[in-house]
A and B are shown apart, each in its own frame.
Chain A
Amino acid sequence: MTSGTIEASPLQPATRRPGRLLSLSAAVAVALLLALPALANAFHVVFVLGLATQVLIYAIAAMSLNLVLGYGGMVTFGQAAFFGLGGYTVGILHQHFSEASAFLGLLPGSDSLLVCLAAAMLVSGCAAAIIGSLSLRASGVSFIMITLAFAQMLFFLFVSLKAYGGDDGLMMRHRDVAPFFDTGDDANYYGVCLALAAGWFGLTACMVRSRFGFVLAGLRQNERRLTAIGIAPMRYRLVAFVIAGMGTGLAGALMANDLRFVSPDMMHWTKSGDLMMMVIVGGTATLIGPLLGAAAMVLLEASLAAQTENWQLYLGLILLAIVMLTRGGLAAALDRLFGGKR
């Protein structure tokens, strides 16, 4: 089990029964997430809500990446491109809305959350279709380098786009608005992110058990086998790549709204690395892994940064320890803890 991260078993045998302890702790976790705004208020720790929102947003991105990296076995190092594109879609639409101008003189801006989230998913999905159809012809190290190259190209494109802030990025005056409730309220916005993260989780859970997920994980195990039963590998990989791009774009759009700010940093290669770390630390090709990984990264970063200036050193050491000691990430550790199959 030397290369355990990518080779981790994708679909657990159907015979596996979740322990009672496991379902109980899952219920507690869900209840905690639902009650978090009230709890944060009661205990006067409102900043927790902001952290939790960040965790949920990164969890959506990490779940998406896990679909290609974990289940599909495609090691892409350019996922931040879609994160940034999602963010910039929101930022650019917002700028045109506040200036009452039009994008390329054609598309009017918008500050509707629904419109902007949908547009972000559309843009990042199209970008993923283009990048995927070019990069998926390669595999292994060349695939890693090509995805990285595309992400860096986009990064430098946005750095040089002075109309949209260039290096400095774009500020948004307020969050995009939604009907019936005020997104400016942090508790409400947390609710939006929680609902979308839950929805994306449910969608992913369906997908990896479906025929499509079966084929995707099969392609990782043995492409030759699947070709010999009549599967065209590229099509399935590309669809997974596009779905993952859309999910990451959604996360980017939510992040832009959360911070009311987008900058090229969102698509920097280190952001791709962060997302990869979340997946690997949490556990590749597991449903719950990306959630745990996103929570671990965000919370560790926040708590360490409050203690010391050199927090990145300690963060690195802790992540290293998690990856080396858990053999399969936090999800695998939980699995063992709750007496699941070893």
Chain B
Amino acid sequence: MTPALELRGLSKRFGGLTATDDVSLSIPAGSLHALIGPNGAGKTTLINQVAGDLRHDAGAIMLGGIEIGALPAWARVRCGLARTFQIAQLLPHYSVLDNVALAIEVRQGHCFRFFADARKNSRARDQAMSHLEAVGLSARASSAASDLGQGECKQLDLAVALATRPSLLLLDEPMAGLSALESRKMTELLAALKGRLTMVLVEHDMDAVFALADRISVLVYGRVIATGNGDEIKADEAVRVAYLGADDDRC
């Protein structure tokens, strides 16, 4: 079966710094693949290249067997790729419901509709409401997005991404900035999504990573040093060295 996402020899350099170094990954459909690594390992850079916010220097990005590396970010969304952001990206002046409804309207077709009142598209708004219910934000539907707390912003960011009906969802640190309670809620949300779509998770919260991930890749200096399931990664010597430092140069 074709993998949902396949990276072949992906590379990205910023001047003298190699941010992504010949990364090859194959992620089967329906699985959750976590990317972990120390700060500055290039995890978000890798996500940005897959999403199309950054252009890679070499290699290929295959989404369901189709090369998407040459497409701009917006066109990759139309191919079934969605992402959430480390810092939630919302439309602050619009209501929570508007934020999700817009994503649905875009999915339904182009937005060169100049006359009909966008807020009277009841089909899109009903669907948007059900997405809000799924992430537990339906009570805040009519609040302005700028009034949301940090945890709620992340939930809304996720709801917007899901409203595009992706086959592949890139999650860039969904737990960052959340309280313990909120991050437990987010973990449950993601667990409920497992199997329905393919997910790539970048996260520092190891409890969440080991609870959710089917497979884990460890990224250090832009290079994948290990890939495996939770137990294999915990036992891997190279991972230990990367995270804790080798015995002889520990200070």
Spell out A's residues near B (CB within 8 Å): 9-11, 13-15, 206-207, 209-215, 217-218, 221-222, 224-233, 236, 239
Considering residues B78, B107, B119, B164, which has the most beta carbons from chain A within 10 angstroms of its beta carbon? Answer: B119
Chain A residues whose C-beta falls within 8 Å of the C-beta of B119 in the assembled complex: 14, 209
Q: A15-B142, A222-B92, A230-B74 are in contact. Are A206 and B114 (CB under 8 A)?
A: yes
Point out the residue from A10, A207, A229 that lies within 8 Å of B102, measured CB to CB: A229
The contact sample of 13 A-B pairs, CB cut-off 8 A, is: A209-B117, A211-B105, A211-B113, A213-B114, A217-B93, A224-B53, A228-B77, A228-B85, A229-B102, A229-B106, A229-B107, A229-B160, A230-B74
Chain B residues whose C-beta falls within 8 Å of the C-beta of A214 in the assembled complex: 98, 102, 105, 111, 118
Bound together, the chains give a CA A132 to CA B75 distance in angstroms of 22
List of 3 A-B pairs having minimum Cβ-Cβ separation, nearest first: A230-B77, A225-B89, A229-B103
Distance to closest chain B CB from A55 (angstroms): 26
A218's nearest neighbour on chain B, judged by CB, is B91
Chain B residues whose C-beta falls within 8 Å of the C-beta of A231 in the assembled complex: 74, 106, 111
Bound together, the chains give a CA A13 to CA B94 distance in angstroms of 8
Contact with A along B111-142 (1 / 0, CB 8 A): 11111111101000000000000000000001
Distance to closest chain B CB from A301 (angstroms): 34
Spell out B's residues near A (CB within 8 Å): 51, 53, 72-75, 77-78, 82-83, 85, 89-95, 98, 102-103, 105-107, 111-119, 121, 142, 144, 160-161, 163-164
Chain B residues whose C-beta falls within 8 Å of the C-beta of A211 in the assembled complex: 105, 111-113, 116, 118, 121
The answer to whether B89 touches A212, judged by C-beta atoms less than 8 angstroms apart, is no
Considering residues A14, A218, A230, which has the most beta carbons from chain B within 10 angstroms of its beta carbon? Answer: A230
Bound together, the chains give a CA A98 to CA B72 distance in angstroms of 52
Bound together, the chains give a CA A327 to CA B90 distance in angstroms of 25
Chain B residues whose C-beta falls within 8 Å of the C-beta of A218 in the assembled complex: 91, 94, 102
Bound together, the chains give a CA A9 to CA B95 distance in angstroms of 12
The answer to whether B90 touches A222, judged by C-beta atoms less than 8 angstroms apart, is yes
The answer to whether B93 touches A228, judged by C-beta atoms less than 8 angstroms apart, is no
Chain A residues whose C-beta falls within 8 Å of the C-beta of B113 in the assembled complex: 210-212
Distance to closest chain B CB from A36 (angstroms): 30
The answer to whether B117 touches A230, judged by C-beta atoms less than 8 angstroms apart, is no
Considering residues B94, B103, B121, B161, which has the most beta carbons from chain A within 10 angstroms of its beta carbon? Answer: B94
Chain A residues whose C-beta falls within 8 Å of the C-beta of B142 in the assembled complex: 13, 15
Q: A211-B105, A218-B102 are in contact. Are A224 and B114 (CB under 8 A)?
A: no
Bound together, the chains give a CA A227 to CA B161 distance in angstroms of 11
Chain A residues whose C-beta falls within 8 Å of the C-beta of B103 in the assembled complex: 229-230
Bound together, the chains give a CA A13 to CA B95 distance in angstroms of 8
B82's nearest neighbour on chain A, judged by CB, is A228
Q: A13-B144, A228-B82, A230-B107 are in contact. Are A221 and B91 (CB under 8 A)?
A: yes
The answer to whether A212 touches B111, judged by C-beta atoms less than 8 angstroms apart, is yes
Q: A215-B111, A227-B73 are in contact. Are A210 and B161 (CB under 8 A)?
A: no
Point out the residue from B83, B93, B106 that lies within 8 Å of A11, measured CB to CB: B93
Bound together, the chains give a CA A307 to CA B121 distance in angstroms of 54
Chain B residues whose C-beta falls within 8 Å of the C-beta of A14 in the assembled complex: 119
Q: A229-B103, A230-B74, A232-B74 are in contact. Are A222 and B114 (CB under 8 A)?
A: no
Bound together, the chains give a CA A206 to CA B115 distance in angstroms of 5
Distance to closest chain B CB from A243 (angstroms): 9
Considering residues B98, B114, B142, B164, which has the most beta carbons from chain A within 10 angstroms of its beta carbon? Answer: B114
Bound together, the chains give a CA A228 to CA B83 distance in angstroms of 7
The answer to whether A230 touches B164, judged by C-beta atoms less than 8 angstroms apart, is yes
Point out the residue from B78, B89, B92, B144 that lies within 8 Å of A230, measured CB to CB: B78
Chain B residues whose C-beta falls within 8 Å of the C-beta of A10 in the assembled complex: 93
Chain B residues whose C-beta falls within 8 Å of the C-beta of A228 in the assembled complex: 51, 73, 77, 82-83, 85, 89, 160-161
Bound together, the chains give a CA A221 to CA B160 distance in angstroms of 16
Considering residues A207, A217, A231, which has the most beta carbons from chain B within 10 angstroms of its beta carbon? Answer: A231
Bound together, the chains give a CA A9 to CA B144 distance in angstroms of 11
Distance to closest chain B CB from A99 (angstroms): 40
The answer to whether A221 touches B94, judged by C-beta atoms less than 8 angstroms apart, is yes
The answer to whether B160 touches A9, judged by C-beta atoms less than 8 angstroms apart, is no
Chain B residues whose C-beta falls within 8 Å of the C-beta of A212 in the assembled complex: 111-114
Chain A residues whose C-beta falls within 8 Å of the C-beta of B95 in the assembled complex: 13
| Known A13-B142, A209-B119, A215-B106; 16 more pairs at CB < 8 Å | A10-B93, A207-B115, A209-B117, A210-B116, A210-B118, A211-B112, A211-B118, A211-B121, A212-B113, A221-B93, A221-B94, A222-B90, A227-B73, A229-B163, A230-B103, A231-B74
Considering residues B73, B75, B91, B119, which has the most beta carbons from chain A within 10 angstroms of its beta carbon? Answer: B91
The answer to whether B111 touches A236, judged by C-beta atoms less than 8 angstroms apart, is yes
Chain A residues whose C-beta falls within 8 Å of the C-beta of B74 in the assembled complex: 227, 230-233
B101's nearest neighbour on chain A, judged by CB, is A214
Distance to closest chain A CB from B78 (angstroms): 5
The answer to whether B160 touches A232, judged by C-beta atoms less than 8 angstroms apart, is no
A10's nearest neighbour on chain B, judged by CB, is B93
